[in-house]
Amino acid sequence: MNRAIILGSGAAPGVPTISDGWGNCNPHNPKNRRTRAGVYVEINNIKVLIDTSADIRNQLLDNDIHTIDAVLYTHAHADHIMGIDDLRALTYHHNQGLNIYGAKPHIEEIRNRFDYVFTDIPAKEATQRPQLISNVIEYGQQFYVGNLKIMPLEFAGHPVPTTGYSLDDGRLVLVPDYKIIPPLTLEYLQKIDVNVLIMPLTNLETSRYHAGKEDNLMYIQKIRPQRVFWTHMSPKCDYDNVMRISPANTAPAYDGLEIEL
């Protein structure tokens, strides 16, 4: 079955947040309880994770996911990478290593902060560790995981450049944290037929490092995807309220949402 699962639909603090609770979100709606952002995608039996938040262990257990072929990283901010150690469980029963992909600065940062998880860096202790193999992607240059074609795309306006991914020629496109879609990326997304677009809606209003609802809608009109799901939502984004203001074929995601591709 070809599908995506929204593992986590929250921004960095999750919902509720430790500091401020539920914000504008109705605490009685279970769809408002959000772990940190991540997506699982399965196309033609190839299984990939996009980002590994600190919540990844529970996310994989909750969604009954036990094997992964590769991990794609959008950037190296803490809310997207801090679960990397839990990838250990995915190589526990075999010694083949697990490929991770990302742009050069993101891979470098991950390697600096988690040197012990990579097979080409000698282990300091003889303990179990994740066995990861790092791969640097170039924007606009497609690569394959098994038979799954993946196109990495550059996004801008977050404090660091971020990487989005188009899987299987637009069957699914994941937009990372962003504020601006650079012309080359937009051109590409207009050229392919985008089936499902997963897009961050961190706050409804445009903020310093994040696009808001109006920016997203402006880009959606240009890209013309068939379906859109908002993710990476802060406590300012109540599920029912966001649903009310979303146009046709567009809806807020929630943790555990399964999307047929």
Give the residues lining the site for Zn ion (CB under 5 A). Answer: 77, 177
Do the strands 132-137 and 143-145 form a parallel or antiparallel pair, or are they unpaired?
Answer: unpaired
3-state DSSP assignment of residue 217: helix
Least Å distance, CB 77 to Zn ion, is 3
Least Å distance, CB 43 to Zn ion, is 25
Phi, psi of 42, deg, nearest 5 = -130, 115
Residue with the CB atom nearest Zn ion in the bound state:
77
Least Å distance, CB 140 to Zn ion, is 22
Nearer to Zn ion, 86 or 177 (CB): 177
Nearer to Zn ion, 71 or 145 (CB): 71
Token digits of residue 157: 């306006």
Distances in Å between the Cα of 145 and the Cα atoms of 97, 170, 234 are 14, 15, 32
Nearer to Zn ion, 34 or 77 (CB): 77
Least Å distance, CB 176 to Zn ion, is 8
Nearer to Zn ion, 55 or 177 (CB): 177
Least Å distance, CB 231 to Zn ion, is 13
Angle between the N-to-C axes of helices 183-191 and 213-223, in degrees from 0 to 180, rounded to the nearest 10: 50
Nearer to Zn ion, 164 or 170 (CB): 164
CB atoms within 10 A of CB 237: 25
Distances in Å between the Cα of 36 and the Cα atoms of 55, 84, 114, 184, 230 are 6, 13, 20, 29, 13
CA distance 261 to 259: 6
